[in-house]
Amino acid sequence: MHDFLNRLPKAELHLHLEGSLEPELMFELAQRNGIQLPYVSVEEVRAAYQFGNLQDFLDIYYQGAEVLQTEQDFYDLTWAYLQRCSEQNVIHTEPFFDPQTHTDRGIAFETVINGIDRALRDGRQQLGISSRLILCFLRHLDESAAFETLQQAMPHRDKFIAVGLDSSERGNPPEKFARVFAAARDAGLLTVAHAGEEGPAAYIRDALDLLQVSRVDHGVRAVEDEALMQRLIDSGMALTVCPLSNTKLQVFSDMRQHNILQMLARGVKVTVNSDDPAYFGGYMTENFVALYEALGLSKTQAVQLSRNAFEVAFVSEPEKQALLARLDRFAADEGVG
């Protein structure tokens, strides 16, 4: 089953590039850029990755991002992630990046996006991995800062397809960013938002109504509101669920309590993603394997989860059909109906 899940053609729709910064690369970049880390070894960094809530995680996440300084650093970060994708048969990815994490410490916006974009282009050409980039606003900052970031981004409009909303959910409701999301939509950008992870189910509804999102990132607390659940089912709204992240941050205390397969059975368009894999203990295959080991994920369910992701990817219809055809061939070869 592990081998099946690794070979399964997959799309990843919820991945923070900064959250794929492995300790080894963190040390390499720190040395390259003359940055003193508060850790003496890779093992010490991994030990620091034992956190119990979102804020503790974010504190070390932003600290790790300090080593990212040059265009080459952002290229190397993205390329390392794409190599993981190649190893795990992730054939399409739509990663997030947090420009404010970098511009707030004096790194130029174009330094960040040019490095990422160059790696994604090389990923298409050298690894055959298609991609679309999503720019995320940090919700613990104010909306005026998000507007400033959107303005900085517009000269690079050809390099990203959507805007998102991440960071601390509690106390930062979707309505705080309604105007900047409207401006992004007016500019022809798609929208997504983190909602219903540590925040309540009401934040999912607000993301749908106020931000007019095309997908909800996380969304696992939708089960607390039956009317919302029915709305998600009826509309085919996708949730980009991150199982290992959810258990690491105690959204669920144990993977056996996770509700993703219950939602799948009810007809919610759930997908599997790795979120911040360097910090949460696994990339795409590891997330699928965790569902198999804890919840008895079947081959049929795994294929359906993958199908959901391809169906809601931000790609053209011909690209979507080509991706789905690859999944269908795999399923047929494996005898999965």
- Is 110 designated active site? no
* Total count of residues recorded for the chain: 337
Residue of 12, 22, 197, 286 with catalytic role: 197
How many C-beta atoms lie closer than 10 Å to residue 19's C-beta? 23
d(CA 16, CA 11): 14
Nearest to 232 by CA among 262, 189, 277: 262
DSSP string, 220-271: GGGGG-HHHHHHHHHHT-EEEE-HHHHHHTTSSSSGGG--HHHHHHHT-EEE
CA distance 149 to 163: 11
Distance (Å) of CA 89 to CA 170, 240, 245: 35, 18, 21
Q: Is 281 left (phi over 0), alpha (psi -120 to 50) or beta?
A: left
C-beta contacts of 139-142 below 8 A and 24+ residues apart? 139/165, 139/166, 139/167, 139/168, 139/169, 139/172, 139/176, 139/177, 139/194, 140/167, 140/168, 140/172, 141/100, 141/167, 142/176
Which amino acid is it at 109?
Answer: F
d(CA 245, CA 115): 26
Q: For residue 26, what are the CA distances in angstroms to 23, 42, 116, 215? A: 5, 9, 16, 31
Tokens describing residue 83: 């190599």
Q: Which residues are catalytic?
A: 197
